[in-house]
Structure 1
Amino acid sequence: MRRPVIGIALVALVAVTAPASADNAHHTPTRSEVREAERKADAAADDVDGIQAQIDRANASLEAASIAAQQAAEAYNGAVWRLQQARKAERVATRASRRADRSLAVVKHDYRDAILESFVTGSPDLNEFSALLDADGLSSALDRVATSEIVQREFVEKRSAYESAAGKAEEAEEAAEDATDEAADAKADAGEAKDDAEAAVAAAQSAATTVADEKALLLQKLARLEGISVDLAQQRQAALEQQRQEEIAEQAQQQAAEEQAALEQAQQEAAEEQAQQEQEQEQEEQEDPPADSGDSDDSDTPDDTTTDDPSDEPDTEEPPATPPPAGGAAAAVAFARAQIGEPYVWAADGPDSWDCSGLTMGAWAAAGKSLPHYSVAQYAQSTPISSGSLQPGDLVFWGSSSDPSSIYHVALYAGNNMIIHAPRTGRDVSEESMYYWIPPNFFARP
C-alpha cells in the first residue's frame, strides 16, 4: 500500500514555485511546473514504498534464519535423544550377551561332563556284552542296557541344550555388536547435528545483526524522505509491524475458531446420525422379533435380543478429553511462568537458560512427569488433542508440515490463548499470544 505523500508533494511544489524576488511573489505555477512537482512527489513516494519493501524483506530474512536455527537446534536435540536411546539399547544388549555367555558356560560344563562319562562307561553294545559274561546273566544285561539308554538320552539332551545355548549366545553377541554400531552411528549423527545447529544459530545471529544495521540505514532514509526524525520513523515502523502482527494473529485465531467449530459440528452430526441409525434398528427389531426356534413357552423365556434398560444402550456421546493429572498442569504452568525473563540458549534445559523443549521438559518434570528433551518425542509421548480442547499445561507445537516429524518448536499452554515458551536466540522466555507468530498446527496433552 502506497503511503500518503502530501507533505512531500507540497515541499516539491514549493521548491519549484518559490519566488525569486518580490516581483514574482504572486507567480502562478505553470502546468509544467505542477507536473514536475507531482513527478518528484511520485518519485519520493516510490522511494518510500521501496524502502518499506526492503525493510519487509529484511524482516522476512531474519524470520527465515530464526526458523532455520530452531529447526537445527531441535534436530540436534533429536540426535542426542536417539543417541541416548541407542546407548540404552546397547547396555541392554550387552547385559543380555553376558547372561547368554554365562548360561553357555554352565551348559558347556555339563556337556563336557556328559562326554567324559560317555567315554568312561563305553558304548551300549560293550556294556551289554560284558553283562552277558557276568554271573547275573541276562537280567543284569537288560539292566545295563536300560542304564545305557538313560545315559545316552541325557547325553543327547545336554548336547541339545549346549547347541541351543551356543546359538543364543551367538545371537546375543551379534545383537550387542549391532547395538554398539548403532550407538556409534548415533554419536556421529549427534556430532553432525551439533555442527549444523551451531552453524544455523551463528547464521541467525549474523542475520539479526545485519538486518538491524540494514533497517537502521533504511529508517534513516525513510525519515529524510518523510521529513521526520529517525526516532519517530523507528516508532512508526515498530507500530506498523506490531499492527501487522496483531492482524495476522487475529486472522489465525479466527481461522482456528472456525476450524474447531466445523470439527464440533461434524462430530455432532456424526453422533446424531449414529443415534438415528440405532433408533431405527431398535424399532425394526421390536416390529419384527426373531422367530422362535424351540418349543418352549415364549412367556417363560426372556428375549435376549432386546432390552428396555437404558443402561444397556450403546454410548453415542463423544468421550470427554482426558484431563491432565490433578495439580500437575498447574505446577507445570507455575514453573514455566517462574522462568520468564531467562534467556533462550539452544540445547539448554535450565536452570537459568532454556530452549523450547528444554523448558517444557523442565515444567512437566516439576509436575512429576518425565518428558524427553525433544519436541517431536514430546508430541509422540503425549495424547494428541484439538485446539478447542486445550487446557493449561497442554503442549502447543509448530511444524513445517502436517507430519509430526516436522515439529521444531513447542510451548506450554497457559490458558486464554496464551503460551509460555523459550522463543529463539535473542528473545527471553516469555508469555504471549499463541498466535503471536505463525499459527501452531499440533496440540497434545502429556
Structure 2
Amino acid sequence: MREKGNRVLAGALGASLVVGFLLAPSMAAAAPTPPNPTDQQLAASRQQVAAASKLVGIINGQLAASQAALSAAQVQTEVAIEAYNTAVYLQGQAQTGYNNATRALKTVQAAVASQRSQMDHLVAATYMTGGANTAAMLMTGGNPANYGHELAMLDIVSGDQAGSLARLQQAQGKQKELANAATIALKATQAAASRASAAKNAAIAAITARQKLTTTIQAQQAVLNQRLVSAQRTAGLLRQARAAADARAAAARAAANDDDDDPPSSGGGGGGYTGGGSGSTIVRAALTQLGKPYVWAAASPSVGFDCSGLVLWAYKKVGIYLPHSAHLQYAEGRPISRSQLRPGDLVFWSYGSSWTSIHHVAIWAGNGKIIEAADFGIPVHKRSMYWSGYFGAARLL
C-alpha cells in the first residue's frame, strides 16, 4: 500500500515538474497594441489563448487529482493516528497489569519468606533444646503441670505454620504465572505500539509531502491563470483595435461616398423625411464617436460608451437629457412602427415580451442602418439593421 502511494506521489510530482518547466520562462512585457492588427497577429493571439487554456486545463486536472489524494491521505493518517492511540492505551493497560502482578508477587514472596523464617526458627529451637519436649517446657516456663497442654499446642502451631507456608507457596506459584503472562502481554503491546508509531509517522510524512505538492500545484495554477487572463486581454485588445480600424475605414468610405451622412431618408420605406433638424444632429453626433471603445456604464468620448450611454450623449447635443438605461429611454418616448422610422429615432431589443426586459438600444441612421455601442471588445460602429430580438422603436423628438 505504501509503495503504491509513493508511486502515485512520484507520478504527481513528475507531472508537476513538467508544468513547472513550462512555467519557467518569465513572462515578457506586453507589447503595445498595434493600431490595426494583422490577420497573423490575431491568429497568433488566439493560439496563445488556446495554449494557455490547455495548460490551465492540465494544471486544474493535476490539482483535482492531488486534492483527492490529499483527502484520501488525510483519512489514512487519521486511521493511523487512532490506531496508534489505541495501541498506546493498550500498552498502558498492560503496563498497569504488569506492575500489579509484580507487586502482588513480591508481597506473596515476602509472606512466604516470613513464614519460612518462622518455621526455621521453630525447627532450630526444637533441635537445639533437645526436641519437642524441651520446646514445650520452654513454652510453659518450666511448669510440669502444663506440659501436656503446651506440647499439644506446639504440634498445632507447627502444623498451622506448615499449612500456611504450603498455601503461600501455592499462591507464589500462581502469582509467578500471572507475572509471566503480564510480562508477555506487556512485550506484545509494546511491539504493537512501536509498529503503530512507525505507521503513524509514515502517514504524517506522506500527508506532509502531499500537502507540499498541492501547495506547489496551486501556486503554478495561479501563474497559469494569470497567463491565461493576460493572453485573453491581449487578444481582446487586438480584436478591439481591429474592429476600431474597420469602423474607421467604414466611416471614411461612408464620408467619401456621402451616402448617409447628409440628411437621410426615412427608415423603413425610404423617402418621407428630408430635412436636417434634430434627428440629423443626433446622427452626426453619434457618427463622430465611431471607433470609441465599448465600456460598461460609460457615456463619455474620453472613456467610451455602452449602448444607452451613446444615446444619452448624442441626445444631449439637441438638449434632451435621458436616463442612462435602455428600457427607461424607451419609456421616455412614444412607440412608432417600422414604417415610421426616421434618423434620430431609437430602436430597441428585448429578451422578453415587456418593455422592462429591454436590454439594448441603437440610433436609427436611415437607409436601414443603425449606430450602436454593441458589446465589450466591439467599438462604436455603424451597421445594417438586424431584426432578431427586435422589440420596437420610439421617438423622442
Q: What's the TM-score, normalizing by structure 1?
A: 0.33
Greater C-alpha radius of gyration: 2
